[in-house]
Homo-oligomer: A and B are copies of this chain.
Amino acid sequence: MFSLDQISAFVAVAEELHFGRAAERLNMTQPPLSRQVQKLERAVGARLLERDNRRVALTDAGQAFLAEARRLLALVETASDLARRVEGGAAGTLRLGFTAVSAIRTLGPLLRRMSEELPGVDVILHERVTPAQVDGLLRGELDLGLGRPPFDSLALDSRVVFREPLCAVVPADHRLATADRALTPADFSNEQVISYSPTQARYFHELTVRFLTNVHPRIEQRVQQILTVVLLVAAGRGVALVPASARSLGVQGVVYCDLVDSTEAGPVELHAIWNRESTSPLLHRVLRLFDDPVMPSEHQ
């Protein structure tokens, strides 16, 4: 097999068509350069340069080989570069979990930031509910998740990336739809309330239950997805509590109402979650993006 030095030597000679000048360009003397080219030709098994005592010319085989040689050298350059960029977190693949609603306010800006600041990074998206994300993070199938508490904070680390108020969603023709004030728990005392799966959407389940402590509404459904909740409300099956960003879902026939206690400090939190064990430089590079105020974090 030939060596890369031989390739460089050949390319230099092929470009200069002169052993002396090529040697100068390679910072070496002419005799070893001649030998390198000879060895290359022996290794390749084809005459690459036609050289009589007066001039040097490429053979057809040399012409074809020159193109391959250049690609080879280019690949050598890019390979090292790629490895360094991956090590620095500027390139690679991020497997990102997210919940359907987190996508509305957070995923879009995040992906836009990444394509601007880390253009070498590919993102593979996985839509999963939080428990499934946690599972994926622990198995190493995901690098980063966007989910809701609670999760195992021994194995997983996290930070809040978005906070927003809880609000109520009611059918457009509902009596609460026209209440021009923040709703209180008592407003729901005789309502059909659509709530969440205690296991698959535990966070919203608990938020709903906590808000409605001491009131005893009829809790009807047990669904996972916020979109499903809103659609059920639109279908007149009841009222529900959802994060404020659900407004952006664009479902027709429903009205969103503020809640008391939930207007100033948003109790609904979205967390970026990752495995504490992860040493991925890319992950930490991405996490740093959340430091920047351009990221819609901490604010609605």
Give the contact-size bracket for chain A. Answer: 35 or more
Interface of A is mostly: helix
Candidates B2, B4, B46; contact of A86 at CB < 8 Å? B46
Interface 1/0 per residue, A79-103 and B, CB below 8 Å:
1101110110001100000000000
Which B residues are in CB contact (< 8 Å) with A1?
4, 76
Stretch at the interface among A54-62, A110-118, A154-162, A183-191: A54-62
Bound-state Cα–Cα, A66 to B75, Å = 12
Residues 50 to 81 of chain A near chain B (Cβ within 8 Å)? 59-65, 68-69, 71-72, 75-76, 78-80
Q: Say how many copies of this protein the assembly contains.
A: 2
Bound-state Cα–Cα, A62 to B86, Å = 9
Interface membership of A28, Cβ < 8 A: no
- Between A63, A78, A79, the greatest number of chain B beta carbons within 10 A of the residue's beta carbon is seen for A79
Q: Is the CB of A84 within 8 A of B60?
A: no
Whole-angstrom distance from the CB of A248 to the nearest CB of chain B?
35
5 tightest Cβ-Cβ pairs between the two chains A and B: A68-B79, A65-B83, A61-B87, A46-B87, A46-B83
A interface, CB within 8 angstroms of B: 1-5, 43-48, 59-65, 68-69, 71-72, 75-76, 78-80, 82-84, 86-87, 91-92, 280-282
User: Can you list 11 A-B pairs, Cβ within 8 angstroms, ordered by A?
Assistant: A4-B4, A44-B80, A45-B84, A46-B80, A46-B87, A61-B84, A61-B87, A63-B86, A64-B86, A65-B83, A72-B79
